Amino acid sequence: MSQEICVVVPTIREYECMRAYFDNAREHGFDLDRLHVVLVTEDFCDTDEMAAMLDDEGVSGEVFDGERRAEWFDANGVDEYSHLIPEASHAQTSFGLLYMWAGDYEYGFFIDDDTLPHDDHDFFGRHMDNLAFGGEVETVGSDEQWVNVLYQNADEHGLYPRGYPYAAMDEAVETTTSTVENVVASQGLWTNVPDLDAVRILMDGDLQGQAQTRTTAGDFDGDFVAAAGQYLTVCSMNLAFRREVIPAFYQLPMDDNPWNVGRFDDIWSGVFLKRACDVVGTQIYNGAPLCEHNKAPRSTFDDLDNEVAGLELNEHVWEIADGVGEGAESYAGVFEAIARELVDGEFEYNNGEFLNYVGEYMLDWLACLDALEPGTLDANVPVAADD
């Protein structure tokens, strides 16, 4: 079987965690020859050791630090778009999306290096089953138009994940069952350290970046989708997706920007993807396979410093995207419509100009994809922005 799956892992320290994922695949009979692993790292990391790990495991893959990413952009004739990948940011996962788009991969995985698979879950196999799922599944909504992906035991733990708007808390949850036929993304959830923002971690009494309240497998009692017109947080630590969503799945330019906005790359990309899915009639599947999140201790105030510049924007980004792109026939078309809404908007929020900046980068994202694979996007691809 050819390598059809591109696994993207942003890492600067715990790349050895991938051995556990490869062992999980072997234990459950998943063919590792289907995978090509892209480790996205920094110039100060030992890329030779990372490559040696992949060789030792017998898994196809490549390692890209900043220098190698620059070489890749040059080799593919898209130097003018290298600014799309921010320096020293988790949003560098976007490089993996570009690599996948330029290659012959039908599926992508995002795995964070502070996670481990659950032994009783066939990690890769379950994600692939989710992407192929067709049938009835629990469908969730609320009177706030937001779904807390931790809703199933929220009465006990009271947790809301990173990126969930504060204005949407204390929602009235509504569940039903619906038929799902077109799953394009599979979000696995997480045990141990929950993925919370710094404000919520401080409220939970921890100064080392880790909530005191932890999640276990018992907090999750089944898979679900968010109803059409409802939004949810999409965390990229444990995620699989189809190639077709890449035009609407840019991990947005965080950290390395004049406003110092960070930590919302996967959150806002998830909002835009969910809007695109609603327009084109596809779904994001949530639940298993679980992973164990072993977030390393770090200052909660450092995380807060990275998040605070975008906290008010996070309350409103989804409102801007909601309703935009109606009638578009592709992910690129919806993404372009949202981008133009952001570029042209006058936003009176704190750091509102950052949204104009994000919109410009989104248009450049589409232009870059078109340059890599000309004629593949159903959108009015803009010319490159002047840098």
- Residue by residue, DSSP assigns 229-288 as T-EE---TTEEEEEGGGGGG------SSSTT---S-HHHHHHHHHHHHHHHHT-EEEEEE
Alpha-carbon distance 72 to 326, whole Å? 36
Q: Are 366 and 247 in contact (CB under 8 A)?
A: yes
Q: What is the DSSP letter of 121?
A: S
Residue 13's pLDDT is: 86
Q: State percent of the chain over pLDDT 90.
A: 94
CB 224 within 8 A of CB 141: no
Confidence of residue 385 (pLDDT cuts 50, 70, 90): very low
pLDDT band (50, 70, 90) for residue 381: low
Region 107-123: mean pLDDT is 97
Q: Look up residue 123 and give its two tokens.
A: 């990690």
SS3 360: helix
Instruction: Report the chain's mean pLDDT, rounded to a whole number.
Output: 95
- Element (DSSP H or E) covering residue 179: strand 173-180
The pLDDT of residue 205:
83
Return the DSSP state at 255: S
Contact 302, 322 (CB under 8 A): no
Phi, psi of 276 (to 5 degrees): -65, -40
Tokens of 127: 């994600």
- Amino acid identity of residue 360, one-letter, is E
**pLDDT value of position 386:** 44
Q: What is the rounded CA–CA span in Å between residue 65 and residue 44? A: 8
Phi then psi dihedrals of residue 330, to 5 deg: -150, 165
Which pair of structure tokens corresponds to residue 69?
A: 């990413």
* Cβ proximity of 383 and 370 under 8 Å: no
Average pLDDT of 354-380? 93
pLDDT value of residue 382: 62
Side chain identity at residue 237, one-letter code = M
191 pLDDT above the threshold of 50: yes
Q: Which residues contact 47 (CB under 8 A, 6 or more apart)?
A: 39, 41, 63, 65, 68
Question: Which residue type sits at 355?
Answer: L
Q: What is the mean pLDDT of residues 52-67?
A: 98
Which tokens sit at 28?
Answer: 């459950």
pTM: 0.96
Average pLDDT over residues 315-330: 96
The answer to whether the CB of 102 falls within 8 A of the CB of 246 is: no
Across the range 260-286, mean pLDDT stands at: 97
Alpha helices in the chain (DSSP H): 18-27, 47-57, 66-75, 93-102, 123-131, 154-157, 198-203, 265-280, 300-308, 311-321, 331-344, 353-372
Inter-residue contact 163 to 147 (CB < 8 Å): no
CA count, 13 A, side-chain hemisphere, 146: 25
Q: Residue 146: which H helix or E strand, with range?
A: strand 146-147
24: amino acid identity, one letter = N
According to the model, what pLDDT value does residue 387 have?
Answer: 42
**Domain limits of the chain?**
5-372
- Torsion angle defined by CA atoms of residues 128, 130, 133 and 139, in that order, rounded to the nearest 10 degrees: -170
For 292-319, what is the mean pLDDT? 96
